Chain A
Amino acid sequence: MDKKPQNRPPEEPVSEGIPAPEGPANLIDTDYVIGQDNITTSTMGVNLDLHGKVFTISSIVVLLFVVLTLALQDTIAPVYDAIFSFLTGNLAWFFIFAANIFVILCLGLIISPLGKIRIGGADAKPDFTYVGWFSMLFAAGMGIGLMFFGVNEPLTHFGTSFDGGSWAPLAGAEGDAAGAAALGMAATIFHWGLHPWAIYAVVALSLALFSFNKGLPLSMRSVFYPILGERVWGWPGHLIDILAVFATLFGLATSLGLGATQAAAGLSYLFGAPESDITMILLIIGITIIAIGSILAGVDKGVQLLSKINIAMAALLLFFVIAVGPTLLIATGFFENLLNYVVHLPALSNPFGREDANFSQGWTAFYWAWWISWSPYVGMFIARVSRGRTVREFLISVLLVPSIVSVLWMTTFGGTAIDQYVNQGIEAVRDAGVDLQLFIMLEQLPLSQITSFIAILLVIIFFVTSSDSGSLVIDSITAGGKVDAPKPQRVFWAIIEGAIAIALLLGGGLTALQTMAVSTGFPFTIILLVACYAIIKGLMSEPKAV
């Protein structure tokens, strides 16, 4: 907003009422003042402004889990595994069912008249350009996974489909290479298409709506206002926020640790760098330092800039592979895979009576729990940068456009890899470990030294863009929804994230704790279902857009 200086005569009475956001909107009437439960101190020249309960309890819980996991990993890892297998095994139907609701709600809102409502009030202006906005939401939401699973997942599903068996999606296509490839691509796109983005969109839209249009703090608990009313400012709200901090911090820290392992594997493959603890610790420290620089520079000049660089490099790699790889195959494959996806979508997303239990529980339910456990972080970040967009514009950009990009990405990387294996008989790409498959695939193409280097750089920058936006999100939740808490706090969270990653890397337990973090997907699925209700209720209570 940029208002002209107003030279009003001071005699003019000043209104005391709360004005609407820009243009007509409908603020929720509450006596809660943001930051009223916060503790503010100034120790040794560092100002702090924190939500007493959320900050203290989530810090203690996080510390407890790290210490327990490090001290008792052999005892505790099976416990985490058991919890997680129970969730994906027995409640797979619930994850799959809920995710379908999210997709249907989002698609419904795009075509409904509610889609005209603008986030931030009818006259709000977007804070970012389309390119900046899209880069940020894509880099935060998916980037890193696409690097690792772009080659691996299509190949894996192709393999199981071709061989048949219980891990094959939809009973597979035994002995039929073309059918197996089609099924493999459809299954992969299913996991990276509409469903994950609908999960993010539900969280992001509900938070944006309740923050920008309803005037509640930018924190998970605000979404519960339509159900809990003023009680969200008490313990029920504290618990929701603590859970969000837990999921975000462990999701990021464990991914950072595992990511460093994978980046180190790539570096050793390319340059013969030793795959030692030192390399990985240096990588984590480096990523954390760049992330701190980015959050000090802020959302506009830090996170946005890095995300743009990130997306530009990813696009470069994508178009390079399209150009030097099997171009025609990718071009036709894009439309074929899109069609395959649509054709197989009803069967793949069916929650009940599945014959392919291993696939639907081990892959789909795992993915849904994973995306959902990331959703508080990605959703809150997307919400923060989406002011000024209409609901329709928001959903097209957060749901449809990224899904199309995923189709193109998977077709390019997965399709090229399957082509190498099936048509050119190159088995190396199939036999390589998951963290090297991308590099082996690139090796078969020209200029592989350069592209592999770009790929490693991309992996690292994707981690930076996750780490910086994640720290901003945790800081805002632990500061009671304030986005203007003192800077040292966000630096603190970025350092904690790196420190946990290093501790778990050295002491073991990265995978165990990641399992635990993904398990938070279950409670969050319930939170997201509430968010769906809140979105509809919130949008219905907005003044009709003209």
Chain B
Amino acid sequence: MFKNIMVPVDLAHLELLEPALSVVADLAKRYDAHIIYVGVTANTPTSVARTPQEYEQKLEAFAHERHKVHGQPVSIRVYSSTDPVANVDKQLVDAVEETGADLVVMATHLPRHLDIIMPSHGSKVATHTDVSVFLIRVAQ
């Protein structure tokens, strides 16, 4: 049913991603799917990497680690941006198209009041793509 699963990854907050990552592993094995880990980073130095290229290497290493866990084929895609916090939703929506993903699995937080003016990335992405989106909620 699913061939390409896109998984947005924030290397700065990996601990929050754990539940989503294990769901991804299960789904990928179930459908024998390819997993694309997508990262959006700032083009200025960040806490994760001092250049977008370093970020790409780290994501590559991360994907490699995940491959050891689930054994499914993996690839990565990195977008760098002047203002990643503001652009991440749009960039993920574009990534769905560019990677040919047919399922997006992403971690998101519980709904909260602030969502009215600043919606969660998960709900933004779900609203703006045609493919299935599976939001894994992380209790905070």
Contacts and interface: CB of A to CB of B under 8 A. Distances in A.
Say if A and B assemble together: yes
A300 B46 contact: no
Contacts of B50: 18, 27, 34, 215
Interface string A506-543: 00000000000000000000000000000000000000
Nearest to A486: B85
Given A22-B53, A212-B43, A487-B118, A300 B75 contact: no
A43 B53 CA distance: 33
Interface in B22-75: 36, 41-47, 50-54, 56-57, 60-61, 63-64, 67-68, 73-75
Interface in A6-26: 6-8, 10, 14-16, 18-22
B140 interface: yes
Nearest to A25: B51
B132 interface: no
Contacts of A16: 57, 61
B98 to A, nearest CB: 8
B44 A211 contact: yes
A127 interface: yes
Contacts of B117: 296
A20 B118 CA distance: 35
Contacts of A27: 50-51
Interface in A261-281: none
Contact of B54 (A2, A18, A295): A18
A423 interface: no
Nearest to B71: A10
Contacts of B87: 298, 300-301
B42 to A, nearest CB: 5
B78 interface: yes
A488 interface: yes
Given A120-B43, A212-B43, A483-B83, A296 B118 contact: yes
Contact of A488 (B41, B44, B114): B114
Nearest to B4: A5
Contact of B67 (A10, A35, A212, A487): A10
B47 A34 contact: yes
B84 A484 contact: yes
A482 interface: yes
Interface size bracket, B side: 35 or more
Nearest to B118: A487
Contacts of B134: none
A487 B85 contact: yes
Interface in B71-108: 73-87, 98-99
Contact of A35 (B43, B47, B64, B113): B47
B86 A211 contact: no
B140 A1 contact: no
B36 A5 contact: yes
Contacts of B51: 18-22, 27, 121, 215
A218 interface: yes
A19 B57 contact: yes
B73 A299 contact: no
A529 B73 CA distance: 54
A10 B62 CA distance: 11
B86 A299 contact: yes
Contacts of A1: 43, 52, 78-80
Given A1-B80, A298-B87, A19 B53 contact: yes
Contacts, number: 137
Interface string A462-500: 000000000010000000011111111000000000000
Contacts of B56: 3
A387 interface: yes
B45 A481 contact: yes
A385 interface: yes
A213 to B, nearest CB: 9
A480 B118 CA distance: 23
Contacts of B140: 42, 45
Interface in A136-192: none
B48 to A, nearest CB: 9
Contacts of B112: 45
Nearest to B61: A14
A415 interface: no
A204 interface: no
Interface in A294-308: 295-302
Contact of A216 (B36, B45, B80, B86): B45
A83 to B, nearest CB: 35
A60 interface: no
Contact of B77 (A5, A14, A46, A127): A5
A10 B86 CA distance: 32
B125 to A, nearest CB: 16
Nearest to B91: A2
B45 A301 contact: no
B82 A7 contact: no
A217 interface: yes
Interface in A28-49: 33-36, 38, 42, 45-46
A344 interface: no
Nearest to A21: B51
Nearest to B101: A5
A384 interface: yes
Contact of A384 (B44, B64, B77, B98): B44
B43 A298 contact: no
Nearest to A27: B50
A483 B44 contact: yes
Nearest to B77: A5
Given A19-B53, A33-B47, A212-B44, A7 B75 contact: yes
A15 B57 contact: yes
6 contacts: A16-B57, A16-B61, A34-B46, A384-B44, A482-B47, A483-B85
- Sorted nearest first, the 6 A-B pairs with minimum C-beta distance are A298-B86, A215-B50, A35-B47, A299-B83, A45-B112, A298-B83
Given A300-B81, A387-B82, A484-B85, 12 more contacts: A6-B76, A10-B64, A14-B61, A34-B46, A46-B114, A127-B81, A218-B45, A298-B87, A299-B82, A300-B87, A483-B85, A487-B85
